[in-house]
Amino acid sequence: MRSFFKTKFFYVITALTVIAVVFPTVMCATGHTSFFRNAVNFIITPLSDLAHDAVDSIDGYARYVYNFDRLVEENKALKAENDTLKEEVYKSRELEEQYEWISEYLELKMQNTSYKFVAADVCGSESGNYSSVFMLDVGTADGVEKNMPVLSGGVVLGYIAEVGVNWSRATSILESSSSVGVFNERSGVTGVLEGEYSLSSEGICRINYLEENADIKVGDRILTSGYGSVYPRGLVVGYVERIEDNEFSRTVTAYVRPEAFNISDADKISKVMVITEYESYTEQ
């Protein structure tokens, strides 16, 4: 222990301590306090500024972390709210479409009280510009039978060509095998609307062998006549798009665009109605 008091380190510490105690006392006694304050401030001020900056930095970082977490939570809340609004808009549109879809059939039902319907979803269709065959998710278990009329949007789409217990295949009026008894709503001119392979890609059918003086014009609305065993009378088929005269046979051909393929793309047809029961038309 005695050896420590004889070391240079002990003498240096003792000298610095004496200076630290005596120097300020002497300076104050001789009236040089300002010099002492300046010296002290010269040393302390940079350290104080450094400490202040460090505290500001720490405080700023803390605020950043807090604000960042708050923004993350707000962003999550806004995203959840946005998703909820999107879902509500989607459901609203879906309900609106369903309302429009059902209202069309309700109007048809009010006009024809004998009609009975079965709703069906389209679960498959042929590819191409205009699909002409549709697979439906209803069958004999739902009261569906062969040759029952199928409607899309309240207008004629086609008829049931094949049926199983829980499925059926609907052939549209664009198919070459299809023929529908029709009449001109404006003039009463009757004819047979037939599908044609060369026209099906255009989404068009035609009424052949009309008399050359038949009263039929572009824009006339064509309805089912009720003749035959498939379609009831008065269903909307479509509108006359063009007319051609045949000089050799002295007949007229009217080309009709079915409304089922005019109001929406065939690929977008997702719901249809099958008329399972109606009163047959008898000419008065």
16-41 mean pLDDT: 55
Percent of the chain topping pLDDT 70: 65
Residue 282: pLDDT band with limits 50, 70, 90: low
Sign for the pseudo-dihedral over CA of 273, 279, 283, 284: negative
Pairing of strands 271-277, 190-194: unpaired
Nearest alpha carbon to residue 262 among 204, 222, 178, 182: 204
pLDDT tens-digit series, residues 88-115:
665 666 556 666 667 777 788 888 888 9
Q: Average pLDDT, whole number, for the chain? A: 79
pTM of structure:
0.66
pLDDT tens-digit series, residues 194-228:
999 889 888 899 998 899 899 999 999 999 999 87
CA 56 from chain centre, in angstroms, equals 51
* Structure-model confidence comparison of residues 143 and 54, the more confident one: 143
38-64 mean pLDDT: 57
- Measured CA to CA, the distance from residue 146 to residue 159 in angstroms comes to 8
Sorted by where each begins, the domain ranges of the chain are 4-58, 116-277
pLDDT at 45: 56
Sign for the pseudo-dihedral over CA of 232, 238, 243, 248: negative
280 Cβ contact partners less than 8 Å away, ≥ 6 residues apart:
226, 232
Nearest alpha carbon to residue 208 among 186, 191, 183, 189: 191
Q: Which CATH number fits domain 116-277: 3.30.70.890, 2.60.40.10, 2.160.20.70, 2.40.10.350?
A: 2.40.10.350
pLDDT higher than threshold 60 for residue 127: no
